[in-house]
Amino acid sequence: MRPHAVHAVIAVKSLDQAKSRLADRLRPEHRARLVLAMLADTVTATTAVPGIRSVTVVTPDPAVADLARSVGAAVHPEPRKSGLDGLNSALADAARALRDRHGPVDLLALQADLPALRPEELNDVLTVAPRGVRSVVVDHAGTGTSALLVRDPVAALEPRFGPGSAGKHIAAGAVALHGDWPGLRLDVDTADDLDLAIELGAGEATCAALHDIGWHDRVHHHVRRVC
């Protein structure tokens, strides 16, 4: 059965805060370039899924907003007062705005750093996710959340991203989805994550950025051949 249409939201913080766990390997401008590239590949893969009607990026950063628009996403400004939990407040605000604009629709919150994401992985998630509940795709580390899906057109998104988010989402009633989705599960925070994304097959924008910043000169030969 054809899945119902879904509207996706992705939150991206300011580039000057980008990927601090890669600070020992990359200069700030290179980390910013990598964040933009991974976002481009994430949005490109997401917009290629037939069941996803739109992708909205919520961000306070003009460079992120420009990049998002260039790859087909809408942009929602980050709320001026997002409280202590800025990422989740931003996602929830964008989700409410989508419902205001489109009416009662299903929602998908995605991480912004999924450079090896494949459209068929997301399409499979939309197909298997049960209706009437929230679902989560647990990340490759087993503790985080790569995707939060609300297959209920009136239920709030209620994002709980952050450390231990998978357990928090599940404790709040979300169902963990099971499937072979390595690209979807691989959000990149560390150098090892990035090398694994290259091995899986990172997207075109991420590969171009990695070549430009010289990442391939820093890793093993078998990784260097892949991307």
- pLDDT tens per residue, range 45-84: 999 999 999 999 999 999 999 999 999 999 998 876 554 4
pLDDT tens, residue by residue, 174-189: 999 999 999 999 999 9
Pick 218 or 151 by higher pLDDT.
Answer: 151
| pLDDT higher than 60, residue 223 | no
Instruction: Check if the beta carbon of residue 53 is closer than 8 Å to that of residue 4.
Output: no
Instruction: Check residue 143 and report its DSSP letter.
Output: S
Beta-strand runs (E) in 23-127: 52-59, 74-77, 106-110
Token pair of 109 as six digits: 């919150």
| Inter-residue contact 181 to 124 (CB < 8 Å) | yes
pLDDT band at 208 (very low <50, low <70, confident <90, very high): very high
**With 70 as the cut, is the pLDDT of residue 121 above it?**
yes
Question: What pTM was computed for the model?
Answer: 0.92
Which of helix, strand or coil describes residue 95?
helix
Residues 210 and 216: beta-carbon distance below 8 Å: yes
pLDDT of residue 87: 87
- Residue 1 pLDDT level (bands cut at 50, 70, 90): very low
- CA–CA separation, 31 and 129 (whole Å): 34
